[in-house]
């Protein structure tokens, strides 16, 4: 695949996810559609979503879960630097380790 296509696809996914997050409270249906569209781009172009985009999808039911809206986020112990994300739709809880060295 051409690097340019990959870059555009990645940018589109980032825009869709950030729109989905900002629409989650006011327009949940639209935000679900935007998130699913981002997922479809990832599948169609066989591009793995960056970690920060993937974390808005429940690992179990694959639904889009907006942080703090249809998921619950709890901070772990300060020394561990992790958050726990619970999906309101299926009840699955997963842990995200907040990395402090990347970027
Ligand atoms: Zn779920």
94 CA distance to ligand 1 middle (Å): 10
In a domain, 81, yes or no: yes
Domain of 8, CATH number, reads: 1.20.5.420
- Better-predicted residue by pLDDT, 96 or 15: 15
List, for residues 25-80, the tens digit of each pLDDT value. Answer: 899 899 999 999 999 999 999 999 998 899 889 889 988 988 777 666 666 666 66
6 CA distance to ligand 1 middle (Å): 28
In a domain, 21, yes or no: yes
- Better-predicted residue by pLDDT, 60 or 103: 60
Residue with tokens 């935007």: 34
In a domain, 59, yes or no: yes
- Better-predicted residue by pLDDT, 4 or 77: 4
pLDDT of residue 101: 47
55 CA distance to ligand 1 middle (Å): 12
The count of structural domains within the chain is 1
In a domain, 103, yes or no: no
In a domain, 102, yes or no: no
């Amino acid at each position: 695949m051409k690097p340019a296509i990959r870059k555009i696809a990645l940018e589109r996914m980032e825009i869709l996810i950030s729109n989905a997050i900002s629409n989650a409270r006011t327009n949940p249906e639209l935000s679900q559609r935007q998130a699913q569209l981002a997922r479809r781009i990832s599948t169609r172009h066989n591009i793995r979503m960056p970690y920060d985009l993937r974390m808005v999808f429940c690992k179990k039911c694959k639904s889009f879960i907006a942080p703090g809206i249809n998921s619950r986020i709890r901070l772990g112990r300060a020394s561990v630097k992790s958050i726990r994300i619970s999906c309101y739709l299926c009840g699955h809880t997963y842990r995200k380790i907040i990395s402090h060295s990347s970027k």
